[in-house]
């Protein structure tokens, strides 16, 4: 396994399930060239979401106030900053845990992909004349009759299934979600309540995806959302960057050479954090520093990014790990090769943290800011502390950032939580308390 870009010490830490921050030697400082062709997908996705806004507003009353856009607030968290950020600078959370319709970051990519499918079918079958047509036609009887012939399928640890299932069913598609063994019971129940067919798999996420893909392939009326290789998901996620730019402007926060932006993104298979990083790099270039965050028991993106381009990433099982984590949204054994290749020179690094650390952050979010998230999201709050380690400081020094830290902005991307039932959240909170007592962090 020497082919991985890991030092012996890093390799050992990963095997031992220890926390660390890995710096990506393939990372390149780049200034975004405006109008580069790569960025097209990003702006096309944004335009598509705009076209569908009237439809979404009609289907989901909670989108009334945003005019049919699915967006979350950017929230300044000074109390949390004082507690968890050893570096100077300000701290915000991007509140995707409260994204309407799907309750997680998956609302961005998942819903975008279902809309792509609906739009293409409608254009092909003459329901829409072109993309300037009245999209409310999709909600007519003719639209229903068209969509109900088709199945939209996906393999998921839970949240992507919720997003695809909810959106697919709302437009009248048949929806099938292949769930891995980590998926939570309440997520399955919620989907079944909406008429989504849930197929349970004993094995892990990768196996659920594979099973879904195979079943879908033999059915010409079935469309499979492939979380491991989907430009449509990726670009849907990336739109977050355009929206964030507006929010930063409204908050009067500059992002430039004197005002660096650090973003901490929980990573599973890689699509959501990869897409968002891609978007952020298009907009802010070298002035934004994107770090992925993973549980020590599922560091698949770290292993993937440390691997060679254009070959299947190694799995966490090769390191003797077992995906033994409560961060179910990040419970993935092998990263998406496609995402690794698409983001290989864009990502500054990846840090991995123990469940006990993310539970402490979950507790602090609640007690200091009254924000309730699922464990997967809480890991984003570990970012500033990880940048303050020896390796993290090496990054800050080598990119000439130390002298600009006073003017720095840190964003912990909170990826999921508002759909978690309150009894379930209470269990997380109790577990956080118990773990912290064990470690002597509260009395
Ligand atoms: C899916 C998910 C992520 C990570 O997204 P990937 O595309 O799998 O990398 C992070 N947090 C939560 C809560 C998620 O559901």
Look at ligand 1, atom 14, and give the residue with the nearest C-alpha: 329
Q: If you measure from the C-alpha of residue 268 to the centroid of ligand 1, how many angstroms do you get, rounded to a whole number?
A: 5
> Please, which residues bridge with residue 424 across strands?
none
pLDDT, residue 34, reads: 52
Cβ of residue 304 lying under 6 Å from some atom of ligand 1: no
- Tell me which residue of 112, 136, 111, 110 sits closest to 122, measured CA to CA: 136
Residue 196, both tokens? 């989504």
Residues 6+ apart with CB under 8 A from 245: 283, 284
The pair of three-digit structure tokens given for residue 109, joined into one six-digit string: 């990519």
CB of 180 shorter than 6 A to ligand 1: no
What is the bridge-based pairing of β-strands 288-295 and 197-200?
unpaired
Residue 171, classed as helix, strand or coil, is: helix
**What's the whole-model pTM score?**
0.97
Per DSSP, the three-state class of 324 is coil
Q: What is the DSSP letter of 176?
A: E
- Ligand 1 atom at shortest distance from the alpha carbon of 97: 13
Quick one: pLDDT at residue 392?
98
- pLDDT given for residue 41 in this prediction: 92
Q: Residue 300 Cα, ligand 1 centroid: separation in angstroms?
A: 12
pLDDT, position 2: 47
Ligand 1 in reach of 269 Cβ (< 6 A): yes
335 within ligand 1 shell (Cβ under 6 A):
no
> Nearest to residue 42, comparing CAs of 252, 303, 212, 245?
245
Q: How far is ligand 1, taken at its centre, from the CA of residue 343, in Å?
A: 16
At 90 the three-state DSSP class reads strand
Whether 230 is in the pocket of ligand 1, judged by its Cβ within 6 Å, is: no
Ligand 1: which residue has its CA nearest to atom 10?
266
How far away, in angstroms, is 105 Cα from ligand 1 center?
A: 7
* Residue 405 CA, ligand 1 centroid: distance in Å: 28
Ligand 1 pocket test, pick from 267, 295, 340, 372 with the greatest ligand atom count within 8 Å of Cβ, gives 267
* SS3 state of residue 95: strand
Token look-up 């430039």 returns 256
pLDDT tens string for the chain (443 positions)?
447 999 999 999 999 999 999 999 999 987 655 555 677 899 999 999 999 999 999 999 999 999 999 999 999 999 999 999 999 999 999 999 999 999 999 999 999 999 999 999 999 999 999 999 999 999 999 999 999 999 999 988 889 999 999 999 999 999 999 988 778 899 999 999 989 999 998 888 888 888 889 989 999 999 999 999 999 999 999 999 999 999 999 999 999 999 999 999 999 999 999 999 999 999 999 999 999 999 999 999 999 999 999 999 999 999 999 999 999 999 999 999 999 999 999 999 999 999 999 999 999 999 999 999 999 999 999 999 999 999 999 999 999 999 999 999 999 999 999 999 999 999 999 999 999 999 887 64
Instruction: Report phi then psi at 308, rounded to 5.
Output: -80, 150
Cα-to-centroid distance, 113 and ligand 1 (Å): 16
Ligand 1 centre to CA of 435 (Å) is: 24
Q: How far is CA 112 from CA 102, 164, 234, 246, in A?
A: 12, 9, 9, 20
């Amino acid at each position: 396994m020497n082919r991985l870009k890991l030092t012996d010490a890093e390799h050992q830490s990963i095997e031992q399930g220890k926390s660390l921050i890995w710096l990506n030697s393939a990372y390149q400082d780049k200034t975004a060239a405006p109008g580069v062709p790569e960025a097209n997908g990003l702006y096309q996705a944004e335009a598509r979401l705009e076209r569908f806004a009237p439809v979404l507003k009609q289907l989901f009353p909670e989108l009334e106030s945003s005019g049919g856009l699915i967006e979350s607030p950017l929230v300044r968290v000074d109390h949390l900053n004082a507690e968890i950020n050893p570096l100077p600078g300000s701290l915000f959370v991007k509140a995707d845990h409260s994204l309407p319709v799907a309750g997680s970051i998956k609302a961005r990519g998942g819903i975008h992909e279902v809309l792509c499918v609906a739009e293409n079918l409608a254009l092909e079958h003459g329901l829409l004349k072109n993309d300037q047509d009245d999209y409310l036609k999709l909600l007519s009887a003719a639209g229903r009759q068209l969509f109900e012939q088709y199945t939209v399928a996906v393999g998921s640890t839970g949240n992507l299934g919720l997003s695809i299932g909810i959106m697919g069913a709302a437009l009248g598609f048949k929806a099938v979600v292949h769930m891995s063994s980590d998926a939570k019971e309440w997520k399955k129940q919620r989907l079944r309540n909406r008429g989504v067919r849930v197929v349970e798999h004993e094995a892990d996420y990768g196996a659920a995806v594979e099973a879904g893909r195979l079943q879908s392939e033999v059915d010409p009326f079935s469309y499979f959302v492939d979380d491991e290789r989907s430009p449509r998901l990726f670009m849907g996620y990336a739109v977050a960057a355009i929206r964030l730019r507006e929010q930063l402007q409204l908050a009067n926060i500059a992002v430039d050479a004197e005002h660096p932006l650090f973003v901490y993104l929980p990573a599973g298979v890689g699509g959501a954090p990869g897409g968002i990083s891609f978007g952020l790099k298009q907009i802010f270039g070298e002035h934004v520093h994107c770090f992925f965050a993973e549980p020590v028991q599922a560091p698949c993106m770290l292993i993937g990014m440390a691997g060679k381009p254009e070959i299947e990433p190694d799995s966490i099982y090769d390191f003797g790990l077992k995906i033994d984590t409560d961060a179910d949204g990040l419970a993935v054994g092998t990263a998406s090769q496609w995402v690794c290749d698409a983001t290989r020179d864009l990502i500054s690094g990846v840090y991995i943290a123990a469940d006990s650390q993310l539970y402490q952050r979950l507790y602090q979010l609640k007690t200091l800011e009254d924000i309730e998230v699922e464990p997967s999201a809480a890991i984003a709050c570990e970012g500033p502390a990880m940048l303050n380690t020896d390796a993290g400081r090496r990054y800050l020094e080598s990119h000439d950032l130390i002298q600009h830290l006073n003017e720095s902005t840190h964003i912990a991307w909170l990826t999921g939580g508002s759909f978690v039932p309150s009894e379930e959240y209470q269990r997380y909170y109790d577990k956080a308390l118990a773990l912290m007592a064990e470690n002597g962090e509260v009395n």
